[in-house]
Structure formats: C-alpha cells, structure tokens
A and B are shown apart, each in its own frame.
Chain A
Amino acid sequence: MFERKQLPHTAASKVTSKAASKAAWAAAIVAMAGLAGLAPARAADSVKVGLILPMTGGQASTGKQIENAIKLYMQQKGDTVAGKKVEIIVKDDAAIPDKTKTAAQELIVNDKVNFIAGFGVTPAALAAAPLATQAKIPEVVMAAGTSIITERSPYIVRTSFTLAQSSTIIGDWAAKNGIKKVATLTSDYAPGNDALNFFKQHFTAGGGEVVEEVKVPLQNPDFAPFLQRMKDAKPDAIFVFVPAGQGGNFMKQYAERGLDKAGIKVIGPGDVTDDDLLNNMGDAVLGTVTAHLYSAAHPSQMNKDFVAAYKKAFGNRPGFMAVGGYDGIHLIYEALKKTGGDTNGDKLIEAMKGQKWESPRGPISIDPETRDIVQNIYIRKVEKVDGELYNVEFATFEAVKDLGKTKK
C-alpha cells in the first residue's frame, strides 16, 4: 500500500475521487452560510421597493442617475408615507435581461417587495413583465422607452418616455422647417427601431425623404466610418438615436468628420444630447435640434430647485434618466398616499392611473388607459448659457400621448 503512494503518477491521480468529499463539505458550508446569511429580514410596517438597475457595465450611468434621483427625493420628502416606511432595495442587473428576471423574482419571492422599479433597457423591462402580472405588483418603468412595454402587463406604469413621443414630433418639425433629405443613424435594438420607424412615418408624410439608413450595433466603439457614409450621402440633416451615454462620442466624431462644416445638422430624440454628458461634448454640438421631454434648462422654478439640489448632492447635472427616477418614486409615494398605505397591487395600480403632477420636466400625467406617461415634448436647440452648454427649449407640444399605441 505504502509503496504505491510514493509512485508519483498514482499519487497524483489517487486523490481525485476522494477529493470530492472534502471539497464538497467546504462548498456545502459556504453554500449554507451564504444562503442563510442572505435570507432577508422582515420589517413590519414598511413598504419595499425593489429597484433593478444597471449599476455596472455600459449602461451604468443610467442606473446611477436614477438611484441618485431617488435618494434625493427621499431626502427631500422623508422616507415615510401614509404611515409606512419606504425601503429601497437596489439590485444590479448590468442591463442583462436574465439577470433582471432573476433579480425581480428574488425580490418578489424573498424580499416580498411591493413594487419593482427601475429597468434601464427595454429587454430588462420586458423580462420582468410576466412576473409583475403573476405576482400582481406594480412595475414602475423609469428608463426604458419602447412603446410595447406597457402592453406586456396590466401592472406596468411608466414615468420615463417613449421613443414614439419624441421621434414623431421631431419628424413633423423637420418636415416643416426646411429639411428635405435626411440620413438616419440608429442603434440596432428595439428603441432604435421605434425611433427610426416613427420618425420615418412622420417625416415622409410631411414630404421629406430618407436618403440613407444605417443601423449601428449597440456596442460600438468607433462611429467614424458610419459618419463618413452619412457625409457622402450629403443629406440636410442626420437623424440620430443612440442610447444615452454614446451621444458624446457621436457628437465628437460628427465634429471631427467636419459634418458641421458641411452644413449637415443633427436632429433626433434628445438622447444624443443628454444633459448628463452635454457639457463635455464641445462646441460642435451647438445648434443641434432635438425633441425631448426634459432639459436641465427647463425654465420652471421647480426644475431650478431640482437641478440645484441634484448638483449639490452629486456634483453633476441631472439628465432625463434622473427625472424618470425622480418622477417614478414620486408616483409610488402618491399611490401609497391615495391607498392610505394599502399595498394591494391592484389598488396601487388603480391609484396610479390618472395621476397628474408637476415634475421638473413640466406637467405630466399617467394615462388611465395605457398606464403610459403623458407629457410635454419640447423642441430644443443646444446653446451656450453662462458658458455651459444647455438644451434650450423653444417650442412646446403639450400633453403628448404615446403615439405608438394610439395608432393601433
């Protein structure tokens, strides 16, 4: 027996099957500790909001803006409403739908949350939809912007925007304001396709022509070749939709390529000139016309206070994602007030329908039929205000519903 042990090759292989036993114990201990340690604590008189956001990965800035805005709101308004303490549980999904689903399921089953909220991208919001229906709890969408989302579950409300809202309006506006030929550059995913289709419909109906259509992959380091293609098509303007965050790169390269000098304007939904990044984009962005729901330069007292408070707390300017989060938590508070603290999902959804309030972005309401947001869409131009770049609003379309749905 003993001699065998000393043979090098057998010694190496002998351990194999037995190894399992001890390592198995170790693993089991880790597992037990982990599972037990992470078991959720229960609090009696509290309302729990499960916030699922991309906190890491390419969409992380969206998640952080929303989380910041919610923190700010709760600092300002206190963390109790209708006698209940509001508790926020943040989960990171890195904008990957299956993680969203697991997170949502965990929140519902284990943490017994009364709301799920957040959702940085459309696939994430869609992934959670069947769970909201099954568990009968409200899903508050604070960022994702595809029209179909609210149709996927009767428990979804949205406080962000839909791409149809801004794209149709910029389409009409462009056709009426002397833009004849447009090239489009959109990210190749649901919101991008929504933006493209609604823009095309309205722009061509108004007599415009789309001369070049490029869909770019979502993960895209270098826009230069696509832009060169745009430039060679010689349009009057480029219609751009890229997710917030990529706008900066796009505008930089737009300028570098000399498209601004060639007289090609940039139009689009306001994602490309997101306030979050706008000020660093350089002067090339001046004159860009976008249609969108929110500008940090919105001239209302409420917005001025909001921007000042946000800047003070987090050191930079809030973008439209932050406003989506701010209004989302407001809606949750209001619904709880209306039900008197009752956390029945059906009652909460009923309470949310038809809510009207003044947001930093202007007056908004929740459409009682579609549970989608109704809001003003502003046409804005990038200008310099006090040495900083801002989207300055110059025309307003009031109480715009989601045209993506009213169509059918």
Chain B
Amino acid sequence: MSDSSDVGYHAQRQARWHYGEIVFWLLVLACGFAFPTRYLIMTDILRLALFAMSLDLILGYAGIVSLGHAAFFGVGAYAAGLLALHGIVNEPVLALIVAGLAAMVLGFATSFLVIRGVDLTRLMVTLGIALLLEALAERFSNITGGTDGLQGIEMQPIFGQIPFDMFGKAGFFYSLAVLFLLFLFARRVVHSPFGLSLRAIKNNPLRAAAIGIPVNRRLIAIYTLAAFYAGIAGALFTQTTAIASLDVFAFERSADLMLVLVIGGTGYLYGGLIGAVIFRMLQELFSTITPQYWQFWIGLVLVVIVLVGRQRLHRWVLYVPNLIVRQVAGRKAVVAVPESDA
C-alpha cells in the first residue's frame, strides 16, 4: 500500500460518522428535555459553543490565532439587533443569515490584514480590530445606543410560527438547530480536500505553497467562513436575549473564547463544544458559591490545567470510559483527544 492511498484511506475513515458523535448529539438533545428549567444557561452554552467552533476553524485547522474574534460576534449581534429593532428583516432565520453575511463581509475585508505577520502580530491586529469596532460602536451611539446598548428589541416568531418564550425553550431549540446545521457544514468543510489543504498550511506554510496550495487564498477563505460563523453566533445572542450592548465586542469575550477552545482542545470541532460546556458550568458553579470571588477559582482551574498538562488531563478523564470501551469494543476503539495547538 503506497503512502498516498494510505492518507486517502485515513482521510475517508476519519470523515465517517463515529457512533460516539451520534451519541453526543442525542445527549445534547436529551439535555433539552431533561432540564426544562435550565434553558437559559444551556442556550448560553450553545452560543458559546458555536462561537468557539468558529475560532476552531481558523485556529485549529489553519493555525491563525486571534484575540479579536469578538469583532465578528459583535457585528453579527448588532446587525441582528438593528434588523429586528427597525423591522427591516422581521423573520429571525432570515435576519440570522443576513447578520452572518454582514460579519462575513467584515471577515473578508480584514482577512488581508490578518494573513500577514507572525502569531503575536496577528493577536494584536485582531485585537485592535475588535477594539476599534467597540470604539466605533460607542462613538456612533445614535445608531448603536452606545454604552446603554440596543434596548427594546422585540423578536418576531421563528418562521412566523414559533414565538420566543420567557423560559427560553424556543430559543434553546432554535440555537441547537442552528448549531447542528452549522456543525454539519463545518464537518463537511474540514474533511474536504479544502480542509486537508488547510492542515497542510498549518503544519508548514512553505511546504504547502511548494506543493501548489494557494496559501493566502485558502487562509482568506477560511477566515471569511469563520467570520460568518461568529456573526451567526452573535446574531443568535441578540435574538435569544433581545439585547445588544457594547460588551459584545469586549476583549474579555475574545479572551474567554480562547480559554474555552484551549480547554476543549483544538482541531477536532468538538473542542469548542466541550470547552463551552466545561467553562460555563465551572463559571456557574463558582459564581453560585461565591459571587464575588469566582474569578479566583476559575483562574486556579486554568493554572492547574496547564500545569498538569491537558494531555494528561484528557487521559485521566478518558481513563474509565476507555476501560469500558476496551471491554466492549476491543483495543482499537480506545480514543484520545488529539493534541494539536498553534
């Protein structure tokens, strides 16, 4: 068996759906029915998961670090808010797409700035763009409501049928549907030849260019796509909370996002989803115990994660499940979280 067919075989195998994945999504759906009083926090987790998946697309697959991903989130959020507030596009799903496209345009425009430079430069340029947008939103307070945010947004029912309720049930299932669809698409993209070429670029841009991959064009494409995803996440945020305020652009949002993704692991799409669950639950747990000093405990967890090492931690977490799997399905089924970071 030659090497090239070997790679092809694995690329195919890896693109196939694994039972675990199906179980994962069924579990998520089950959560929706199992905890009818916790829709809000679960919706929050779904939004964050989508947002983290967006960052994973560029960080995990193309190796572009960003500390300003909130720029796209914010543009999506304000776009959705303004569309609903002024009644331009009343139907939420359509508004969602329009908002995503708005973010996408920004992503395309700024991608040319981002593909230049080393990691640190990228971090700062992306951060700068987000901060600039925040300052813009504050400056044009007649449009954005400034520090007070967009107030009085009223969302119309989804497809004109399903209204957003106070308990967040509609919002949860709506977000879940959006997340799942976008996940399917992302999954398709990263397993396509396009996605594989991105990995090649991430591993070694020079070599990738040498074998004929148009490096810059691919990076621009994935960055634009990620911006679209982030914009959708932002629009979901506005639609499910009926609020858009300046903090959608905040540095803290981008930084939290980075933490989420690093906790969950990059480069296998589920990292963002899992990281979002863990991060939010920890935050919720600590801030319930101590509303004033929860940051300390979150900080401690982060420090411990790094010191122990994520690899080791993943092994520990997977130890018991793997024991079971080994009994049931034999040695080969044993799994580990991939370690691929920038």
Given A55-B292, A190-B147; A22-B40 close (CB under 8 Å): no
Query: Are the CB atoms of A106 and B243 closer together than 8 Å?
Result: no
Given A18-B333, A18-B335, A24-B24; A56-B241 close (CB under 8 Å): no
Interface residues of B in 210-246 (CB under 8 A from A): 237, 241-243, 245
Complex alpha-carbon distance, A23 and B18, angstroms? 13
Given A17-B21, A105-B166; A98-B241 close (CB under 8 Å): yes
Most chain A beta-carbon contacts within 10 A, residue among B267, B270, B284: B270
Q: Is B128 an interface residue (CB 8 A)?
A: no
Query: Are the CB atoms of A126 and B18 closer together than 8 Å?
Result: no
As a 0/1 sequence over residues 260 to 289 of chain B, the CB contacts with chain A under 8 angstroms (1 = contact) are 000011011110011001100100110110
Task: Count A-side interface residues using an 8 Å CB cutoff.
Answer: 59
Chain B positions within 8 Å of A22 at CB level: 20, 318, 321-322, 325, 335-337
Query: Are the CB atoms of B274 and A37 closer together than 8 Å?
Result: no
Given A102-B40, A189-B146; A14-B13 close (CB under 8 Å): yes
Query: Are the CB atoms of B6 and A10 closer together than 8 Å?
Result: yes
Chain A positions within 8 Å of B341 at CB level: none
Query: Are the CB atoms of B237 and A98 closer together than 8 Å?
Result: yes
Task: Choose one: B247, B265, B281, B294; the contact of A23 (CB below 8 Å).
Answer: B265
Task: Choose one: B15, B37, B167, B242; the contact of A17 (CB below 8 Å).
Answer: B15
Given A35-B35, A102-B241; A21-B168 close (CB under 8 Å): no
Query: Are the CB atoms of A25 and B285 closer together than 8 Å?
Result: no
| Selected interface stretch from A127-135, A302-310, A373-381 | A127-135
Q: Is B192 an interface residue (CB 8 A)?
A: no
Task: Count B-side interface residues using an 8 Å CB cutoff.
Answer: 74
Task: Choose one: A18, A35, A131; the contact of B166 (CB below 8 Å).
Answer: A131
Given A15-B335, A38-B288, A106-B41; A20-B241 close (CB under 8 Å): no
Complex alpha-carbon distance, A199 and B269, angstroms? 55
Chain B positions within 8 Å of A110 at CB level: 37-38
Q: Is B10 an interface residue (CB 8 A)?
A: yes
Query: Are the CB atoms of A17 and B16 closer together than 8 Å?
Result: yes
Looking at the assembled complex, report how far the CB atom of A105 sits from the nearest CB atom of chain B, in whole angstroms.
Answer: 5
Task: Choose one: B20, B149, B267; the contact of A97 (CB below 8 Å).
Answer: B149
Q: Is B121 an interface residue (CB 8 A)?
A: no
Query: Are the CB atoms of A28 and B21 closer together than 8 Å?
Result: no
Query: Are the CB atoms of B277 and A19 closer together than 8 Å?
Result: no
Chain B positions within 8 Å of A10 at CB level: 6-7, 10
Chain B positions within 8 Å of A38 at CB level: 38, 284-285, 288
Looking at the assembled complex, report how far the CB atom of A299 sits from the nearest CB atom of chain B, in whole angstroms.
Answer: 33
Query: Are the CB atoms of A23 and B314 closer together than 8 Å?
Result: yes
Query: Are the CB atoms of B44 and A102 closer together than 8 Å?
Result: yes
Query: Are the CB atoms of A92 and B294 closer together than 8 Å?
Result: yes
Query: Are the CB atoms of A19 and B338 closer together than 8 Å?
Result: yes
Query: Are the CB atoms of B281 and A31 closer together than 8 Å?
Result: yes
Complex alpha-carbon distance, A331 and B333, angstroms? 63
Chain A positions within 8 Å of B243 at CB level: 97-98, 101, 127
Complex alpha-carbon distance, A51 and B23, angstroms? 39
Given A35-B38, A39-B37; A12-B284 close (CB under 8 Å): no
Query: Are the CB atoms of B245 and A91 closer together than 8 Å?
Result: no
As a 0/1 sequence over residues 93 to 108 of chain B, the CB contacts with chain A under 8 angstroms (1 = contact) are 0000000000000000
Query: Are the CB atoms of A123 and B270 closer together than 8 Å?
Result: no
Query: Are the CB atoms of A123 and B268 closer together than 8 Å?
Result: no
When A and B form their complex, which 7 residue pairs have the shortest distance between CB atoms, in order from nearest? Answer: A21-B20, A24-B24, A189-B147, A34-B281, A92-B291, A27-B274, A20-B270
Q: List 8 A-B contacts (CB under 8 A).
A: A16-B14, A20-B18, A24-B27, A97-B243, A105-B40, A106-B40, A130-B242, A135-B166
Contacts from B to A (Cβ < 8 Å):
6-7, 9-11, 13-21, 23-24, 27, 31, 34-35, 37-38, 40-41, 44, 135, 138, 141, 146-149, 151, 166-168, 237, 241-243, 245, 247, 264-265, 267-270, 273-274, 277-278, 281, 284-285, 287-288, 291-292, 294-295, 314, 317-318, 321-322, 325, 332-333, 335-338, 340
Given contacts A13-B10, A92-B294, 11 further A-B contacts (CB under 8 A): A13-B338, A18-B18, A21-B21, A23-B274, A23-B314, A26-B321, A28-B24, A91-B291, A188-B141, A189-B148, A218-B147
